[in-house]
Amino acid sequence: MRSLHRLTDAELLEETASRPKAFGVFYCRHEQLVMRFLNSRCRDAELIADLTAETFARALEGAARFDPVRAQGDSAVPWILGIAHNTLVSSIRRGVVADDARRRLGGAPLALDDDALARVEQRAGLDIALERLLGDLPDDLRGAVIARVLEERDYGEMADQLGCSEQVVRKRVSRGLARLRSVLQPGLE
């Protein structure tokens, strides 16, 4: 049996039902990215912690539904960031952090002391590095990744706006994500 740390995101999510520790590895792999993403939008440590917990609770509930074919690869980064985005938007609409998935899973409300809040701020405060990584991408790839992954725009809409085919847009997103992955996870390409 292969080490969980060597599995792709898709494999970890598939293994979650039979090996719960697989989701723990998935969580550790993507927690900081999700926190950075949320920090770039709300900059409140308690809110980031609550939204991160709800994001991963929703991901745990939906782990069996992750489709690597639809995701165009084994990386679940766009999927988990999409969940984080939807969790944030839902919470903004409601005026409170949604905790539906955590309650369904039997999770207790978060109670953070000053040390825990400092750790959240430290983990989430590195969004400058993400911005730098995105900034290192060529304009066409950066725009495609931001539009598709962070803004969750449809490929057809992006193609219409750019005046090119959906195939070209998909290729730009794929190449952009591959470049980011090669920097974030060297040796896995």
Instruction: Assign residue 151 the CATH number of its domain.
Output: 1.10.10.10
pLDDT higher than threshold 50 for residue 189: no
Q: CA 184, 188, 189: angle at the middle one, nearest 5?
A: 95
**Is the domain of 8 the same as that of 55?**
yes
Q: Which residue has the higher pLDDT, 1 or 31?
A: 31
Full domain range(s) for residue 71:
1-125
Q: Do residues 137 and 180 touch, judged by C-beta distance below 8 A?
A: yes
Domain boundary among 102, 125, 148: 125
Query: Which tens digits make up the pLDDT trace of 10-46?
Result: 999 999 999 989 999 999 999 988 988 888 787 677 8
| Residue 65 structure tokens | 């539904």
Report the distance separating Cα 1 and Cα 11, nearest Å. 12
pLDDT higher than threshold 80 for residue 169: yes
**Is the domain of 140 the same as that of 111?**
no
